[in-house]
Amino acid sequence: MKKKKVPERKCIVTNEMKPKKDLIRIVRNKEGDVFVDPTGKKNGRGAYLSSDRNVIEKARKTGILSRQLNAEIDMTIFDELMKIVENDEK
């Protein structure tokens, strides 16, 4: 039986290729709204971050997320990402 290919994406902070399900997707839609996409299927420009506290902190400090999505990133997005990571660690 043929093995199913696992989709991989690159974390914008670490530049590591990881399985899509191990990453968190942040989306900017046509209206310019930025939000976390837990399903990974919403329409819009997506960027992926590793599910790791240090990676999220680095993204917050460097502003890489706003450059990748070409939009202003609200700090509540990073708070939401931290909550997701904390839930994954449990």
C-alpha distances in Å from residue 50, one per residue of 17, 21, 30, 31, 81: 10, 10, 24, 26, 10
pLDDT for position 61: 95
Percent of the chain residues past pLDDT 90, beyond the cut: 87
Residue 70 structure tokens:
């070409």
Q: What is the pLDDT of residues 45-82, one digit of tens each?
A: 999 999 999 999 999 999 999 999 999 999 999 999 99
Q: Which domains can be identified in the chain, with CATH numbers?
A: 8-89 (3.30.1230.10)
- Claim: this prediction has a pTM higher than 0.85: yes
